[in-house]
Structure 1
């Protein structure tokens, strides 16, 4: 199947501009992540904690100067020396005086030039309608200018969990459509990735030769390998037998030092699967086959962020995403299988054994991706790929 036409906020803004409908226009902007251009040197100063504020890159024409604000799909290429930062509408126009002017989506059919004297009263009256960036979450966004079919779209869909959770388009692999400071800071602070070598090492950890050697993946693999020997109909066997299988494998493979950790992982996986069945992540007799999709899903997103941060070129990012997608198809049977494995990897990754605050949101994203008519998981067949080129 081909994805249905995605929502196009830029087209909606153009229609509101054509009709002169300011309330609708600003109402649309109030729900979006908005981008302002800044000099790359200023962005680096912010990242190095040498500056808290930044000078915007203004648009000048006929002696007039405009603050520039864009929706994601309207971002222009302003050259390698200019990057973007993002926030909600009130952030984007913060400090604009009554006699200053803002141009929204310059160069598009939805361009609208507005003075601060118009913007500030509207914001004062509609502040509750502005969605803060931190509340723009759990949104399934398909960019009309992104990949809609073919191998790259399929591979990007393997990282849809994180994209939906963060309200980012799942189908984008392009350095232009990002908050540069946020992506660099996120890679640095959450992943310890601050340069191209660290990015390459992280990608290798996730989808390189050692991708299947985590305790979770090992015990799940042993369950599948030995299931036939014990004869369960659906590939599941009781945790005690499973733990015995693990102990035997450790003894036969000179891995006794891993036995306690692996048996504990068996116990954890068994408990987590019970919760997954209760939450509809697995059917009544379902089980997780591998947690590899936890690494695959993160690899897709780190490839995207690495490209945005300038740690790789577009071809390298594309090859990494395609490799992640290939691994996903090799070890999973369906989108539902991939999603359950992703969540299993996430809970196993936690240091404690409790389901954290993130878990209910992840469950909602799972069901949204499997049920929403506009979801890539509904429209892109998991097992086969179109030979046509990507959009």
Structure 2
């Protein structure tokens, strides 16, 4: 059994906990409580940094790159979400967990060094007893799928247009359990960011990324029919700010289509679609996504909200620069403010855009995966939707 006491490493710079994770680690490190420290680690994402060439060639194998800490210790260094490093061209970030580390550990000659150079740091020995303890702790606190949670980086974007725009992507950030207000080296990690672009968006090049981003910012990624129907209702309801009754709405859509010289939209699609929108809105009211007399003004929020995440994935996958990603995010936020009137209005539009595209009135995971983040973002005290004004 290893009897060496874990060491909290002194910080060399002014520091405040970036997130609640580092705060909890700092408290445990300050108390010298390794068990408590491990419990926090077991419930957090951990990140390794490896040379990009090494990661690209590793074939998914654990990229163990040990470092000497200057005190005679060979270490595997991991960082938590709030302490990830600034972007470096030759290095990529790899997400792991205490459970994965424990099962793939390279040997007792290496120590585990968490968040070196900060008051949240600890150097953990890795003898057989230590690693067994990691496994036991990880098993008791195994994350499985990331829980829906709001993770804020206190040293990240908290005010201003960039923070507002990043908050427009918070549905997915909360759903995925990642920092909502970070424009750093990765959204999740290098490999997973590239994977979601490749498998979900058929995007593997900078050119393809830009084409998809343009489509999102121009509202062309989602089907045109729902937005057409919503725009007709919105314009005719503008004077009273109350929605049209269903029959008037249907007739108005038919009239607008009849007046068009060229029809890009089929009326046979629009009429049943109006019924779907009305049924979804009724469910939204029952579940608190809409006020009792509320209605959805626009579904463009779905494209603009995803544009924020798409920019962050592109940055993480090295398909765009930080400046390009930030500019796209700023534009998405500005467009969201142009077409929506509040966070609640934006969220309802995002939800409708999502379910109209993917859900078939089953109210399954395509619906619950947006309802849960909505409820959290509209209720948590530190939610950007409660701390940031809609108008910037």
TM over 0.5: yes
The SS at the match of 1:371 is: coil
Q: Distance in 2 between the 1:256 and 1:138 partners? A: 39
Per-residue deviation, 1:12: 2.7
Q: Distance in 2 between the 1:74 and 1:13 partners? A: 12
Alignment of 1:3-22 (within 5 A): 7-22=19-34
User: Which position in structure 2 is the counterpart of 1:375?
Assistant: 383
Q: Distance in 2 between the 1:182 and 1:38 partners? A: 15
The SS at the match of 1:140 is: coil
Q: Distance in 2 between the 1:78 and 1:359 partners? A: 35
Verify the 8 A CA contact 2:18 2:83 in the aligned structure 1: no
Shifted more, 306-315 versus 335-344: the winner is 306-315
Q: CA 1:177–1:160 in structure 2 vs 1: closer, same or farther (change >3 Å)? A: closer
User: Which position in structure 2 is the counterpart of 1:200?
Assistant: 210
Per-residue deviation, 1:113: 1.6
Gaps of 5+ in 2: 1-16
Verify the 8 A CA contact 1:75 1:176 in the aligned structure 2: no
Q: 1:184 aligns with which of 164, 189, 194?
A: 194
User: Which position in structure 1 is the counterpart of 2:246?
Assistant: 239
Does 2:53 match 1:41?
A: yes
User: Which position in structure 2 is the counterpart of 1:365?
Assistant: 373
Q: Distance in 1 between the 2:87 and 2:229 partners? A: 51
Q: CA 1:237–1:208 in structure 2 vs 1: closer, same or farther (change >3 Å)? A: closer
Q: CA 1:178–1:234 in structure 2 vs 1: closer, same or farther (change >3 Å)? A: closer
Q: Distance in 1 between the 2:280 and 2:228 partners? A: 16
Q: Distance in 2 between the 1:183 and 1:177 partners? A: 7
Alignment of 1:1-391 (within 5 A): 7-45=19-57, 51-61=59-69, 64-77=73-86, 79-96=88-105, 97-117=107-127, 118-132=129-143, 134-175=144-185, 178-208=188-218, 210=220, 214-227=224-237, 233-253=240-260, 254-255=262-263, 258-350=266-358, 352-383=360-391, 385=392
Q: CA 1:346–1:213 in structure 2 vs 1: closer, same or farther (change >3 Å)? A: closer
Shifted more, 364-373 versus 206-215: the winner is 206-215
The SS at the match of 2:92 is: strand
Verify the 8 A CA contact 1:60 1:66 in the aligned structure 2: yes
Q: CA 1:291–1:177 in structure 2 vs 1: closer, same or farther (change >3 Å)? A: closer
The SS at the match of 1:38 is: strand
Shifted more, 213-222 versus 121-130: the winner is 121-130
Shifted more, 69-78 versus 51-60: the winner is 69-78
Q: Distance in 2 between the 1:256 and 1:107 partners? A: 60
Verify the 8 A CA contact 2:209 2:314 in the aligned structure 1: yes
The SS at the match of 2:334 is: helix
Q: Distance in 1 between the 2:140 and 2:343 partners? A: 35
How many residues are aligned here? 372
Q: Distance in 1 between the 2:318 and 2:362 partners? A: 37
User: Which position in structure 2 is the counterpart of 1:389?
Assistant: none
- TM-score, normalised relative to structure 2: 0.88
- TM superposition outliers: structure 1 runs of 4+ over 6 Å: none
Q: CA 1:92–1:144 in structure 2 vs 1: closer, same or farther (change >3 Å)? A: farther
Per-residue deviation, 1:286: 0.8
Q: Distance in 2 between the 1:54 and 1:126 partners? A: 21
- TM-score, normalised relative to structure 1: 0.88
The SS at the match of 1:151 is: helix
